[in-house]
Amino acid sequence: MVRIREAIVVEGRYDVNTVRQVVDTVVLESGGFRIFHDQDQLRLLRRIASVRGLIVLTDSDGAGFVIRNYLKGALPTGSVKQAYIPDIAGKERRKRHGSKEGKLGVEGMRPEVILEALRRAGATFEEEEKTGTKPTNPISKADLFAWGLSGQKDSAVRRAALLKALDLPAHMTANALLEFINAVVTREELEELIHRITVGD
């Protein structure tokens, strides 16, 4: 599996699963047309785009281009790259009916097609053999529990303090929080921040 620096935003959760099997990076779900009304998710995408860059990878149908064009205008100029999959007729296996336009979406693309789309978009590939770097140790829900940020009596208070310290919305979900911290904060930085919050209690 290859690693890239930029995070990737796709339309739905099945797209997320497909892309995560091909590249090692943060993959975010726009929620399809929900992104038009989800200011918290848009704010999250803006922050990630400004820190590490973001690649938009939507389906090649009309709906995909509506979402793509919206994100193009809503995200910081210069920090977003556009990856395009080819028009391929077909239907994903899990679906009873194909899309309105009869095209395969990101979910139905072969790994080599996704990689080529990312290369053409100008993704920054991090080759471990040349750089000597190793995959980062992603922060998980188990870590949040171990740090007292979930599943414990005062977890809500601690989590609220962390969200405030990171300048994030107070009602951000645990999944969205994980996406953000894995995209822009190292484990060491987060542990130090949590320690400061705990000491300040």
Per-residue pLDDT tens over the stretch 105-136 = 899 999 999 999 999 999 999 864 454 444 45
Tell whether the torsion through CA atoms of 35, 67, 59 and 75 is positive or negative.
negative
Pick 97 or 81 by higher pLDDT. Answer: 81
Query: How confident is residue 8, by pLDDT bands cut at 50, 70 and 90?
Result: very high
∠ CA 95-100-101, nearest 5°, is 110
Residue 80: both structure tokens together: 């977003």
Residue 26 has pLDDT above 70, yes or no: yes
Tell whether the torsion through CA atoms of 104, 1, 187 and 5 is positive or negative.
negative
pLDDT reported for residue 99: 63
For domain 2-130, give the CATH number.
3.40.1360.10
pLDDT reported for residue 201: 54
Residue 161: both structure tokens together: 């303090």
Give the span between the Cα atoms of 201 and 196, in whole angstroms: 9
CB 35 within 8 A of CB 56: no
pLDDT reported for residue 167: 73
What residue spans define the domains of the chain? 2-130, 141-200
Pick 175 or 40 by higher pLDDT. Answer: 40
Helix (H, G, I), strand (E, B) or coil at 56: strand
Q: Are strands 2-4 and 125-126 parallel, antiparallel or unpaired?
A: antiparallel
Pick 22 or 104 by higher pLDDT. Answer: 22
Lowest mean pLDDT among 43-47, 111-115, 185-189: 185-189
Give the span between the Cα atoms of 80 and 175, in whole angstroms: 23
Sheet arrangement for strand 2-4: 23-24, 2-4, 125-126
CB 88 within 8 A of CB 66: no
User: DSSP code of 51?
Assistant: H
Q: Is the pTM of this model over 0.85?
A: no
